[in-house]
Amino acid sequence: MSDGLRYDDSVLAPSSSPLDRPVGRLAPRAGPAFEALGMRTAGDVLRHYPRRYADPSTLTDISGLVVGEIASVVAEVRRATIRVARQTGAPRVELEITDGTSTLRCTFFTKRQRMAQAMLASMRPGRRGLFTGKVSLFQGTAQLTNPRRDWFDSGPDDDDEDAEARVAAEAGWPTPIYPASAKLESAKIRAVARVVVEQLHDGDVADPVPDEIRAARGLGPLLEALRDLHVPRVEQDWRRARHRLRYEEAFVLQAELARRRARAAAEPATARPRVPGGLLDAFDARLPFTLTAGQRSVGDEIAAELERSVPMQRLLQGEVGSGKTVVALRAMLQVVDAGGQAALLAPTEVLAAQHARTLRAMLGDLAEGGLLGGAELGTRVALLTGSAGAASRRAALAEAAGGGAGIVVGTHALLSAHVQFADLGLVVVDEQHKFGVEQRDTLRAKAAAAPHLLVMTATPIPRTVAMTVFGDLETSVLDEVPAGRSGITSFVVPADNDVWVARTWRRVREEVDRGGRAYVVCARIDGDDADGADLVAVEPVTLGDADATPRRPLRAVSEVAEELRGLADLRGIGVGVLHGRMSSEEKERALADFASGATPVLVSTTVVEVGVDVPEATAMVVLDADRFGVSQLHQLRGRVGRGSAPGVCLLVSSAPPGSSADERVRAVAQSSDGFALAAFDLEQRGEGDVLGASQWGAASSLRLLRVTRDGTLIEQARTDARTLVERDPELEAWPALRSAIDVLLADSRDEFLDRS
């Protein structure tokens, strides 16, 4: 358009909303800095939420600061000077701030004189802001080193917005503090957000929450919330705004989950009614134990759903050792009896192999269908893993495709395009937390009609998390473990206490002498190497200055196995090893030798974490337990005490007393309630990690919502969303809600792809 022709904006983009205005027009010089923080348009600025609010009218009492703590101080600049280190010539800015009575020194170290000058220019006396940093002692006086500064007014070169902001500050309005960057002060973001908010009219922002729902829940319109969030007059304003936006996050997510659920339910499934006198009845007759009340009622629930031509979509949560496998197996047999096939998807090869072995053992000759000597109504169990040999792989594929195998067990290999089924009627996903929604869908797509779906989680999760992460599934809970278990006693063993550590190994000997088996779990395989997929996902503990002792390297499988083989207390006892770098035959053999008692001590990585079931195992020793997560420890502990003999769990930890790692380990030692531990975990770790396993609840989509705290809100949003979707399954009447969902999906997809 360099020929002099000019178009009016409104012609180029007839429907252009004020929200689409590029940020460069609102803040020409700062445009790139805004874009670097992900804000391209006015709308992006509005959705860049303040991190917190400061009260500019109340200066913080500086004399009350505690050395070592992180302090946030509202104060005024008194004096700022540049000093130069005599030896290095490095400049630093020394700033004195005041609360009107006392003063506090802040020191900023810089590399260049020019940086120091620029910093100094922003610190003109009288300027008020929030200073955040760790209080340290320097030459006997408290000071802040390189604190973060959030000015209440705009910088000295932003004269236009300056005056207005200062008026707000002086009126005592709460000051929003935004996530900022070195190039973009919080005050600048605040000034731009204010301009955007003030230019908006009612029709400019489309509200994803329908009016009638807002009315019923007593929530204000979106525009009002955005105003109150960015330009609050009193604390109540931003609190109300946050509540409303939190509801919105929950509602948009729940609407998508309800829509997925409705879509899946609309696909016809094949009904798989119970066939009397079939495999299931034969299996039940042979069960060596009676089902628990929970297993029976959940079993009935599932059986009834399988009989319908609407696909089951069920999540089975179960405490460790509650007997989920039997429940799943009975569901699979019902489907096989009705002429269909079932696929069981496990997260590791060890677990897939074990499931196949258990199923074959429990079924006995019922699993030898078509073979000489097999029961007349028998079926077959095929095992498909990535590392299986070519011949057995071909055989398994043929059995799956031809329908000879009623049950196909496998790892991710089941997802591959080569795998086909004659008539897949049920998909069981064991230990769900290792699978994403998309993988579930891939398996489902292998069936002609929609298969029934049963997802089992090994880790109990609080109800609100289940609603958020698995909101498209109905939930069943198995909370009792079969009677006759004698329980597990857990202890924390300080790694630096030689007497206790020696006692640990003697205890292992005692367990073995009594006919038990002991797992010894390490965080690493050898020297400097971690066990890929099995690696502990917990961040290293950050130590405060006080206990900055260098950490010992993590104990490794190879080294610990050597040590135990040389230990007098364990003389004559076979020690095996198991880790993710062994071939699947080696792994199988290691587990078999352990189960048979040939090597009653098994040193391993967390490959034994989920699902491994050796009833004779009575002792679990976890080395470097402080490096493991709560649910991981709980899972590990669940490997013992599965038979009639009581179990013991010894958590060897080198966490400093009082550190969060120490709290974690102690919490596990003190409670055996998986749900309570999951709640503790969520609180301690924050949600990011916990929700991180799913595409939902990715950091960018859930910004204000906290599943730990906002349970009620999530329940309300779910009820509202389901009601709405029942009336209008594709949300045709709600374009604003649909586009909010699109944003959520795009964000989640990006993040999920980033992670994988």
In the complex, the residues that contact Mg ion under the rule CB under 5 A are 611
CB-wise, 129 or 516, nearer to ligand ADP?
Answer: 516
CB-wise, 324 or 434, nearer to ligand ADP?
Answer: 324
Minimal distance, residue 318 CB to ligand ADP, in Å: 4
Question: Which residue is closest to Mg ion by CB?
Answer: 611
Among Mg ion, ligand ADP, none, partner that 631 touches (CB below 5 to 8 angstroms by kind): none
- H/E stretch holding 468 reads helix 463-469
Minimal distance, residue 612 CB to ligand ADP, in Å: 9
Report the DSSP beta bridge partners of residue 604. 521, 578
| 355 lines the binding site for ligand ADP (CB under 6 A) | no
| 321 lines the binding site for ligand ADP (CB under 6 A) | yes
Minimal distance, residue 707 CB to Mg ion, in Å: 25
The backbone region for 585, taken as left when phi is positive above 0, alpha when psi lies in -120 to 50, beta otherwise, is alpha
CA distance 106 to 93: 8
Q: Which stretch binds ligand ADP (CB under 6 A): 313-321, 410-418, 581-589, 698-706?
A: 313-321
Q: What is the DSSP letter of 606?
A: G
Among Mg ion, ligand ADP, none, partner that 322 touches (CB below 5 to 8 angstroms by kind): ligand ADP
| 292 lines the binding site for ligand ADP (CB under 6 A) | yes
Minimal distance, residue 541 CB to Mg ion, in Å: 30
| 695 lines the binding site for ligand ADP (CB under 6 A) | no
Among Mg ion, ligand ADP, none, partner that 326 touches (CB below 5 to 8 angstroms by kind): ligand ADP
**Of 323, 340, 410, 462, which one interacts with ligand ADP (CB under 6 A)?**
323
CB-wise, 60 or 292, nearer to ligand ADP?
Answer: 292
CA distance 225 to 245: 7
CB-wise, 451 or 611, nearer to Mg ion?
Answer: 611
Question: Minimal CA–CA distance to 102: which of 75, 132, 71, 67?
Answer: 75
CA distance 743 to 740: 5
Minimal distance, residue 430 CB to Mg ion, in Å: 6
**Of 318, 406, 460, 516, which one interacts with ligand ADP (CB under 6 A)?**
318
By CB atoms closer than 10 A (0-12, 13-18, 19+), residue 276 is: exposed
- H/E stretch holding 182 reads none
CA distance 676 to 689: 17
Q: Which stretch binds ligand ADP (CB under 6 A): 153-161, 322-330, 460-468, 741-749?
A: 322-330
CB-wise, 613 or 662, nearer to Mg ion?
Answer: 613
CA distance 527 to 536: 16
Two tokens at 511?
A: 């367990």
- H/E stretch holding 216 reads helix 211-217
CA distance 632 to 376: 43
CB-wise, 50 or 323, nearer to ligand ADP?
Answer: 323
The residues in 639-658 that bind ligand ADP, with binding defined as CB under 6 A, are 642
| Cβ-based neighbours of 247, under 8 Å, separated by 6 or more | 209, 217, 219, 713, 716, 717
Q: What is the DSSP letter of 60?
A: -
Q: What is the largest CA-CA distance in the chain?
A: 95
| 299 lines the binding site for ligand ADP (CB under 6 A) | no
CB-wise, 320 or 725, nearer to Mg ion?
Answer: 320
Strand duo 128-138 + 380-384: pairing:
unpaired
Minimal distance, residue 323 CB to ligand ADP, in Å: 3
By CB atoms closer than 10 A (0-12, 13-18, 19+), residue 448 is: exposed
| 409 lines the binding site for ligand ADP (CB under 6 A) | no
| 482 lines the binding site for ligand ADP (CB under 6 A) | yes
| 605 lines the binding site for ligand ADP (CB under 6 A) | no
Task: Map residues 614-633 to x or -, x wherever contact with ligand ADP holds by CB under 6 A.
Answer: -x------------------
Cβ atoms of residues 503 and 604 within 8 Å: no
CA distance 299 to 327: 6
CB-wise, 644 or 756, nearer to ligand ADP?
Answer: 644
Instruction: Outline where DSSP puts E strands in 532-625.
Output: 575-578, 601-604, 617-622
- For residue 640, give the 3-state DSSP assignment: coil
| 613 lines the binding site for ligand ADP (CB under 6 A) | yes
Q: Which stretch binds ligand ADP (CB under 6 A): 323-331, 380-388, 408-416, 735-743?
A: 323-331
- The site for ligand ADP (CB under 6 A) is made up of 289, 291-292, 295, 318, 320-326, 482, 611, 613, 615, 642
